[in-house]
Amino acid sequence: MKRFHVHVAVENLNESVSFYSELFGMKPTVERTDYAKWMIEEPRVNFAISSRGHKPGVNHLGFQAEDPTELAELAARAEHASGSSVLKETAVECCYAKGNKYWVIDPQGLAWEHFQTLGEVPIFGEDTTMKRAKGEACCIPLHNRVSAATGESPAACCVPASDQPRKAGACC
């Protein structure tokens, strides 16, 4: 059975974890220094938040499949809806999980992720460019936010850019 997925970028993770824990009536299923996820059963929702430098607000939406058959069905729907091929990632590590994914952009530029989780990984993931048959896909650019501890910008999982023109070969 598929699960609806929502990923929201937040400015203050601790404040947002407190808010959503109260709102959902439960603590996160997964909680890290830059990420939290609630696997809500009724309704079936995978709700995630992160503070990794993206503009606050809805980062992307999607559906989580439980098996390869469901994922293939979701990928076919995305391809049919978009009128073109979807962006495919195999065995990627992102959001503290390893999985297979298909990305598509809706007419408003909102990214949709269809995925099957294959396991957990100890890092958020640093895949900043997705490959496809005809070149590279864009990622949402990070804000110019630098960590005081490391002096580096936080890495972010790849999400096709919603604010860039959708031209073949155009990238962030």
Report the CATH number that the domain containing residue 132 is assigned in CATH.
3.10.180.10
Is residue 169 domain-resident?
no
pLDDT (0 to 100) of residue 85: 65
Q: Which two tokens stand for residue 94?
A: 């992102």
Q: Over pLDDT 70: what percentage of the chain? A: 72
pLDDT (0 to 100) of residue 140: 37
Is residue 99 domain-resident?
yes
Is residue 164 domain-resident?
no
Number of domains in the chain: 1
- Closest by Cα among 111, 84, 119, 89 to 101: 89
CA distance 71 to 14: 33
Does the predicted model carry a pTM greater than 0.85?
A: no
pLDDT digit of tens for each residue in the chain (172 aa)?
Answer: 899 999 999 999 999 999 999 989 999 999 999 999 999 999 999 999 998 778 899 989 999 999 999 999 999 999 988 887 689 988 888 888 889 999 988 887 888 999 998 988 777 765 433 333 333 333 433 333 334 444 443 444 455 444 433 333 322 2
Report yes or no: 24 and 47 within 8 Å, Cβ to Cβ. Answer: yes
Q: At a CB cut-off of 8 Å and minimum separation 6, what does 85 contact?
A: 79, 132, 133
Is residue 142 domain-resident?
no
- Closest by Cα among 15, 34, 8 to 126: 34
In DSSP notation, 125-160 reads: -----EEETTEEE--PPPPS---TTTSSPPP-----
Q: Compute the Cα dihedral for 158, 42, 1, 104 and give only its sign.
A: negative
Q: What residues make up the domain containing 80?
A: 3-137
- Closest by Cα among 36, 32, 35, 33 to 23: 36
